[in-house]
Amino acid sequence: MSTVQAREIRVLFFASLREAVETDTLSIDITGPVSLDELLARLKERLPPTAMTALTAENVRLAVNQTLINPPVMVQPGDEVAFLPPVTGG
Amino acid sequence: MDMNDEQLLRYSRQIMLPEVDVAGQEKLLEATVLIVGLGGLGSPAALYLATAGVGRLILCDHDRVDLSNLQRQIVHSQAGIGRLKVDSAADTLAGINPDITLERIPHRLEGDLLEQAVSRSTVVVDATDNFEVRFELNRACVRTRVPLVSAAAIRWEGQVALFDARDPESPCYRCLYAEGDDGALNCSENGVIAPLVGVIGTCQAMETIKLITGVGETLTGYVLYFDGKRMEWRRLRLPKDPNCPVCGD
């Protein structure tokens, strides 16, 4: 992994969350491990309030490096963090 | 059990698969699958499980067929409007495969009746449309150690997961979602594109058949997310939550 990649967290938004956030991915520059709350604070600087409401809604799930996790959790430079919308219709 | 000539011919394309063979087909014919919900997901799931020769399908739905269902609930037809979904579905399935047994439960399964129906099933297919029933079904499957093939679909997106309570390492549905309000997430308020439920419900039938026959690797421990707008799949690992109130230690 190059130095450039290792200084950022790649944040992905899946399906309907992509539309709420109006983007697929964001890169957040960090120099060391940060908590999920700190990552959300960094996202808040980049995204409109409606996007933050969608991302913090009940049962939106987070995956770090393709594993669904329960906060609190620390994320590292080089990690991929994905936001996934809840789905229940059938 | 010994298959008759008609069964050997009916299921020949499946028996031809070396992983299935006669033994696999017999497992299907001896299996019982409870399908809860005969809507968008339950329609394709029931159709494929019936055609593939699952010997006994327990069909559960308290609802009746409505015109607004027919855009995606492909086991029902125009003539079925106003009929119980279990009757409408059973007629369609029996018309395609009279070789299988179809049980109908035209009311909501709760408490002991739910647990009885789950405990005599080889696999349970969750094709319901709300969190409340999903959590109840999950609890019953964990208690009775019956695998649960769970799926959901809305708008252009869906998800599929398999929770196998026979495996102590497997997560359950409650490890995926916290119990809460889901008022804003049904099809009547959000809409759903017709083939989405076909894609996702068919995945449920596939996982059910793999579970019964023991072929391949199941989705246990993963959640598969689908975005129809991009034809994009993401497979994410779901660890068991040690603090889960349903399956935790």
Q: Is residue A66 part of a domain?
A: yes
Q: Cβ A16–B156 below 8 Å, yes or no?
A: yes
State residue A88's pLDDT score: 85
Catalogue the E-assigned strands of chain B: 32-36, 56-60, 101-105, 123-126, 148-154, 157-163, 222-227, 232-237
| pLDDT tier for residue A79 given thresholds of 50, 70 and 90 | very high
Q: Cβ A58–B178 below 8 Å, yes or no?
A: yes
Q: Is residue A80 part of a domain?
A: yes
A3, pLDDT greater than 60: no
Per the prediction, chain A carries an average pLDDT of 90
Point out the residue among B134, B197, B234 whose CB comes nearest to the CB of A14: B234
pLDDT tens across B197-207, in order? 999 999 999 99
pLDDT tens across A7-27, in order? 899 999 998 899 889 899 999
Contacts of B131 in chain A (CB under 8 A): 88
Q: Is residue A64 part of a domain?
A: yes
Q: Which long-range contacts (CB under 8 A, 24 or more apart) does B30-33 make?
A: B30/B1, B30/B55, B31/B55, B31/B56, B31/B122, B31/B123, B31/B212, B32/B56, B32/B57, B32/B58, B32/B120, B32/B121, B32/B122, B33/B57, B33/B58, B33/B121, B33/B122, B33/B123, B33/B124, B33/B125, B33/B208, B33/B212
Interface ipTM: 0.87
Mean pLDDT computed over A44-70: 92
Domain span holding position A77: 5-84
Q: Burial level of B237, CB count in 10 A (0-12/13-18/19+)?
A: middle
State residue B182's pLDDT score: 57
Residue of B nearest to A84 (CA): B225
Point out the residue among A63, A86, A89 whose CB comes nearest to the CB of B186: A89
Between B216 and A89, residue with greater pLDDT: B216
State residue B186's pLDDT score: 63
Largest CA distance in chain B: 52
Point out the residue among A14, A87, A90 whose CB comes nearest to the CB of B40: A90
State residue B36's pLDDT score: 98
Chain B residues with at least one Cβ partner in A under 8 Å? 37, 39-42, 126-131, 134, 151-159, 176-178, 180-182, 185-187, 190, 192, 197, 223, 225, 227, 229, 234-239, 241
Contacts of B176 in chain A (CB under 8 A): 61, 68
Q: Please name the residue that has the structure tokens 């990552």.
A: A39
Residue of A nearest to B154 (CA): A89
State residue B249's pLDDT score: 78
State residue A6's pLDDT score: 73
Interstrand relation of A67-69 and A61-64 (parallel, antiparallel or unpaired): antiparallel
pLDDT tens across B133-192, in order? 999 999 999 999 999 999 999 999 999 999 999 999 999 999 999 887 555 456 677 899
| Domains of chain B, start order | 31-237 (3.40.50.720)
Q: Cβ A66–B156 below 8 Å, yes or no?
A: no
In a mutagenesis test of the A interface, which of B236, B238, B240, B244 is the best target, namely the one with the most A β-carbons within 10 Å? B236
**B186: number of Cβ within 10 Å:** 16
Q: Is residue A90 part of a domain?
A: no
**Which residue ranges of chain B lie beneath pLDDT 70?**
181-187
Q: Is residue A89 part of a domain?
A: no
Q: How many separate domains does chain A show?
A: 1
A2, pLDDT greater than 70: no
Q: Is residue A55 part of a domain?
A: yes
Distance from CA of B158 to the nearest CA of A (A): 6
State residue B180's pLDDT score: 72
Point out the residue among A67, A68, A89 whose CB comes nearest to the CB of B152: A89
In sequence order, the 6+-apart residues with CB closer than 8 A to the CB of B70 are B76, B77, B78, B81
Point out the residue among A59, A68, A88 whose CB comes nearest to the CB of B237: A68
Q: Cβ A90–B197 below 8 Å, yes or no?
A: yes
Q: Is residue A51 part of a domain?
A: yes
Domain of residue A20, CATH code: 3.10.20.30
State residue B181's pLDDT score: 58
Q: Cβ A15–B225 below 8 Å, yes or no?
A: yes
Q: Cβ A67–B237 below 8 Å, yes or no?
A: yes
Point out the residue among B130, B197, B239 whose CB comes nearest to the CB of A88: B130
CB B97 within 8 A of CB B50: yes
Q: Give residue B70's Cα distance to chain centre.
A: 19
